[in-house]
Amino acid sequence: MMEFVGLTDDDVKLVRDSGSILADHAVELTEAIYRHFLEFPETRAFFLDEATGEVDLDRIERRRHSLTRWLRNSIEFRVDEDLPVFLLAIGIVHSHPAAHREHLGSIPMRFMIGAMSLTQTAVSGLLKDEIPDAETAWRTAEAWNKLLMVQLDVLVAGYVTERPIPPRQESPSASQV
């Protein structure tokens, strides 16, 4: 997927170089994403205290810390055998509810995709605001978009079972027919 979306070593360097900007704004980024989730009944339901029906602020705080950890891991992006396992585990957790929350069902994949879109938009806006050179800000936002799409590919794999595309067969030449 990295090759497919064109994520290059230069892109990874831009992501890492922007790390301090995003780390400085991690709290506001994660707060904005969870505020957004709470605005919609379908996503708000995942953050309610079962007993009171009120927003479970402790749960939100734990989720914010998890999202911040994911952001740090994204900044430190390393292509190794741990990366897909880490991302796939996140996808599986979202698609397979814990037993005590099974009645809520899976977090719909469209919200995972939507959350990635929210993240892309927020990251792009921060980079535009914080990187003085417009060209560098644009290239860095592009690099983040590529990286986030690579990650989304693995995250949604926790939701979907696909039949792999068989290897392409060479067409027989006229002499072989």
Residue 16 has pLDDT above 60, yes or no: yes
* Amino acid (1-letter code) at residue 107: I
Exposed/middle/buried for residue 50 (C-beta within 10 Å: 0-12, 13-18, 19+): exposed
Nearest Cα residue to 1 out of 116, 83, 103, 86: 83
Residue 133 has pLDDT above 60, yes or no: yes
pLDDT at 12: 92
Domains and CATH numbers, the chain: 2-159 (1.10.490.10)
Residue 177 has pLDDT above 60, yes or no: no
pLDDT at 7: 95
162 vs 67 pLDDT, higher one? 67
Q: Count CB atoms within 10 A of the CB of residue 155.
A: 24
Q: Could you report the per-residue pLDDT of 41-55, keeping only the tens digit for each?
A: 999 988 898 889 999
* pTM for the predicted model, two decimal places: 0.80
